[in-house]
Amino acid sequence: MINHVGSSSGDPRERLVALASERGVSLAALSRLIGKNGTYLQQFITKGSPRRLAEEDREVLARFFGVAESELGGAAEKSYGGKAKDGWVEVPRLALDASAGPGSFSAQEVPFDTFRFSARWLREQGLDPAMLSAIAVAGDSMEPVLRDGDEILVDRTPRPLREGIHVVRLGETLHVKRIQAARPGMLTLISANAAYPPVEVPLAEVDVIGRVVWKGGRI
């Protein structure tokens, strides 16, 4: 359990903990994301050191979570929440791959670009722009459904686990697989390519990042 220093309803430390919990990412991973040692943000939250996040660190974290910098103690006008502009929403593309094969190291979850989607279309699909990210597929284990290099839209909205194609994290790697409930306490990861047999893993070892809701790629 994390003890907060001087937390309040508007405390950026409290908000950071909540965002990390919602996204399912550790404070150590977020510390490495901003180029610090693994205990940096834990000390920020529990010991109040540093007293405030540096501007460049706050921007990286705000972009990662898709929120306004004000939620982390910064300027209110700087927001990365996927807001609609002229009927369009900019969804962040993350600089990592979801492996459809042996796995992809997921250390740099930093937006480097965006895809623009119609705000109306997203509403029709029941998708919250703030909970969407786009990443690339690597490998051939999901062919022909998903091919190497395809871009996928991942909905990170917390929901009860259900069958379908998801991005999951095992250890330090991301995978894109069809998931299926197995025997109690276990989850089956299924590839579309018959050359890759199903894999059964303990549910406690799988972090379900989000459901794949759209794909795009070259013909």
Q: Residue ranges of the domains in the chain? A: 12-72, 91-111+131-216
- CA distance readout (Å), 99 to 39, 92, 152, 176, 186: 28, 19, 12, 6, 21
d(CA 93, CA 8): 32
Q: Record the tokens describing residue 38, joined without a space.
A: 């693994």
pTM for the full model?
Answer: 0.62
Q: Whose CA is closest to 142, among 110, 111, 174?
A: 174
Taking only the tens place, the pLDDT of each residue in 154-178 is 998 888 888 899 999 888 788 999 9
pLDDT, position 107: 40
**Strand, helix or coil at 214?**
strand
Q: Whose CA is closest to 151, among 172, 121, 171, 176?
A: 176
| Prior bond of 12 cis (ω within 30°) | no
Q: What CATH number does the domain located at 91-111+131-216 have?
A: 2.10.109.10
Q: What is the mean pLDDT of the chain?
A: 81
**Cβ within 8 Å of residue 196, ≥6 positions away:** 101, 141
Q: What average pLDDT does range 92-99 have in this prediction?
A: 68
With a pLDDT cut of 70, the percent of the chain lying above it is 81
Q: What CATH number does the domain located at 12-72 have?
A: 1.10.260.40
pLDDT band at residue 121 using 50, 70 and 90 as cut-offs: very high
d(CA 127, CA 190): 25
